[in-house]
Amino acid sequence: MIPCAPVLLLLVLPAVECDRLQISGDYFTKDGSRVFLSGVNLAWVGYATDFGNNQFAARKSSYERFFKELHESGGSSIRIWIHVQGETSPLFDGNGYVTGLDSSGTFLSDMNELLGLGQKYNILVFFCLWNGAVKFDKEYRMDGLIRDTGKLTSYLQHALIPWVKSVKDNPAVGGWDIMNEPEGLINTQRSSNNPCLNATHLIPGGAGWAGRLYNYEDVQRFINWQVDAIRQTDPGALVTLGSWKAQVNTDEYGSHNHYSDHCLTQAGGKAQGVLQFYTVHSYGKRFDNLSPFKHQKSDYKLNKPLMVGEFASKNGGGMAIESMFQYAYGHGYCGAWSWSATDNYEGDAWETQKRGVASIRNNSDASKGTVHFTL
């Protein structure tokens, strides 16, 4: 096999350009073969203060340590939080409109340095843009983008599109995650005959824990417009949404997929603003009956890949971390990211997560995907 590496080849062999990560049916492919994304959520070194405004220079050595150790453990991918709720990026004016990515002009160079680490250590980077799981003082900035399409447009034009243009040809870009757990801010009192908009079925599960601020159509439009902007700028980009539980991503078991193509385009009107793969999180001393660790991927009857995007043995239904990675690999999911390299309060210690990643490093079943591959 000719290696997919940035090396200068002699006339004996033709130059090979590796394919980017792609989707075939309900799984990922790389260079024509099925792959399984094994890795972790970093998700930050300094919460909301890692990128732009000359901040990455002080964080880079820590990021490099995690990339290096993830690579040594056999991992191939990593999810990193970027804006969070707008604490330090993007750049807002006094009226809540976005005028750029940051005040010092280092954001794009920071992103490319981050991706340089991905290239160095053979790690695909997935950018998570926003966070709906916690309510903070700066949340009014994100709030303006969710409620006001003029402000959202300013973000797309002055921040997101320039960002996508800057990185779209970098081989370390894995994909984009528009928002972490928007269900934290969903108005669960919103009743509707339209199943895309009805949120009352989420009350027993505890949605709205961070404040019942938005109806589903607000969040769906927010997602739809950003996905459309990314895909219009980079048609090959893979975009997802980090859902709190599987019950918001399936029409089975009396639930509803609030992030289906139909729901997103109905709310936002942008035909290209649909997800390429789904991502669900799963925690609990006892897993709920829709947890991915109690099902095969096929049980959800989804026509796209499904990633288990957050989990931890610390709050993982009694399963060991190795068993969680092995379960995700063996039951039809397209990848698994444990939580989190730096957040030991909610997630597993870093050493524990590395054991989980390492437990499947050599897996290469053609029907489930190869874990080790080259960018």
Number of residues assigned to the chain:
375
- Residue whose structure tokens are 């997630």: 347
How confident is residue 82, by pLDDT bands cut at 50, 70 and 90?
very high
Active site residues: 181, 310
- Global pTM value: 0.95
What pLDDT, on the 0 to 100 scale, is given for residue 344? 82
Q: Which residues contact 141 (CB under 8 A, 6 or more apart)?
A: 85, 86, 87, 92, 96
Q: Are 227 and 241 in contact (CB under 8 A)?
A: no
Q: Which of 20-24, 93-97, 136-140, 200-204 has the lowest mean pLDDT?
A: 136-140
Residue 325 has pLDDT above 90, yes or no: yes
What pLDDT, on the 0 to 100 scale, is given for residue 373? 97
Helix (H, G, I), strand (E, B) or coil at 213: coil
- Residue whose structure tokens are 């959520």: 41
Pairing of strands 33-35, 27-30: antiparallel
Cα separation, 257 vs 270, whole angstroms:
18
pLDDT digits (tens, 9 = 90+) for 110-143: 999 999 999 999 999 999 999 999 987 677 899 9
Full DSSP string of 305-334: -EEEEE--GGGBTT--HHHHHHHHHHTT-S
What pLDDT, on the 0 to 100 scale, is given for residue 345? 80
Cα separation, 19 vs 36, whole angstroms:
16
Cα separation, 300 vs 278, whole angstroms:
11
Residue 25 has pLDDT above 50, yes or no: yes
CATH topology of domain 30-358: TIM Barrel (3.20.20)
Could you tell me where the beta strands, DSSP code E, fall in 88-131?
Answer: 91-92, 98-100, 124-131
pLDDT digits (tens, 9 = 90+) for 241-278: 999 999 999 999 999 999 999 999 999 999 999 999 99
Q: What is the mean pLDDT of residues 77-97?
A: 96
Q: What is the mean pLDDT of the chain?
A: 94
Residue 13 has pLDDT above 80, yes or no: no
Q: What is the mean pLDDT of residues 163-191?
A: 97
Q: What is the mean pLDDT of residues 48-60?
A: 97
In the chain, the percentage of residues whose pLDDT exceeds 70 is: 95
How confident is residue 209, by pLDDT bands cut at 50, 70 and 90?
very high
Q: What is the mean pLDDT of residues 293-302?
A: 98
What pLDDT, on the 0 to 100 scale, is given for residue 245? 97
Q: What is the mean pLDDT of residues 55-83?
A: 98
What pLDDT, on the 0 to 100 scale, is given for residue 4? 63
Q: How many CB atoms lie within 10 A of CB 235?
A: 9
Domain spans of the chain? 30-358
**Which residue(s) pair with 279 in the sheet?**
242, 307
pLDDT digits (tens, 9 = 90+) for 219-243: 999 999 999 999 999 999 999 999 9
